[in-house]
């Protein structure tokens, strides 16, 4: 029972962190004069999480493939998107751990498009990936989510400092970094 109480405390704390994040996004939108997202307190404030039965996610989720996403998702990918959205709404972290080749990159991009479209959160987002798939992320974002700004940030330190456009100053971008660079920070 102590573990259950600790887990509930973690969920409660994460909900507060998510709420603070949403509030900060609202302030940023007000500062730059863009429309703020609508708050769905019925989901974000829900206390219906059953930590003993994690499959209690809402079955009739109404999450649809975002219009900003210029592709189509397979049924299991839509379920993955719904799961990611539900985790976000509940203030929980999650790992999308499907088998290799089943479209985790596409599902993640659809989730970012959902945040932009439904919550008016355009970033910044951080993608940390193995070096072998970095260019794939840039290509896929430009293909499936052209309204999102991909920000590739890799190469040696001299190469990165020679690129004046490689600055993390915008709030509306998807930063794509190699795992080894993040590990060195």
Are the CB atoms for 160 and 153 separated by under 8 Å?
yes
Number of domains in the chain: 2
pTM: 0.67
Residues 83, 126, single domain; the answer is: no
Residues 134, 117, single domain; the answer is: no
Residue ending a domain, choose from 121, 140, 159: 121
pLDDT tens profile 64-86: 899 999 999 998 899 899 989 98
pLDDT tens profile 105-122: 999 999 999 999 998 888
Residue ending a domain, choose from 100, 121, 142: 121
Residues 142, 96, single domain; the answer is: no
State the pLDDT confidence band at 60, using cuts at 50, 70 and 90. low
**Average pLDDT of the segment spanning 7-30:** 77
**Average pLDDT of the segment spanning 93-101:** 85
Residue closest to 132 by CA, chosen among 112, 117, 154, 116: 154
Q: Which residues pair with 177 in a beta bridge?
A: 128
Residues 62, 139, single domain; the answer is: no
Residues 78, 153, single domain; the answer is: no
**Average pLDDT of the segment spanning 55-69:** 75
Residues 87, 13, single domain; the answer is: yes
Residue closest to 55 by CA, chosen among 90, 83, 88: 83
Residue 126: what pLDDT? 87
Preceding amide of 124 cis, omega within 30: yes
């Amino acid at each position: 029972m102590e573990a259950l109480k600790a887990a509930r405390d973690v969920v409660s704390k994460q909900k507060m962190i998510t709420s603070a994040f949403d509030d900060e996004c609202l302030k940023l939108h007000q500062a730059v004069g863009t429309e703020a997202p609508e708050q769905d307190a019925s989901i974000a404030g829900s206390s219906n999480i059953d930590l003993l039965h994690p499959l209690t996610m809402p079955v009739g989720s109404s999450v649809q493939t975002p219009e900003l996403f210029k592709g189509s998702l397979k049924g299991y990918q839509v379920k993955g998107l719904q799961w990611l959205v539900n985790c976000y709404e509940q203030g929980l972290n999650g790992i999308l751990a499907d088998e290799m080749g089943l479209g985790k990159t596409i599902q993640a991009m659809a989730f970012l498009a959902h945040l932009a479209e439904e919550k008016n959160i355009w970033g910044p987002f951080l993608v940390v990936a193995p070096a072998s798939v970095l260019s794939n992320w840039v290509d896929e974002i430009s293909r499936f989510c052209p309204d999102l700004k991909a920000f590739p940030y890799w190469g040696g330190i001299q190469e990165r400092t020679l690129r004046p456009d490689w600055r993390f100053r915008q709030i509306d971008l998807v930063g794509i970094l190699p795992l080894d660079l993040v590990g060195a920070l």
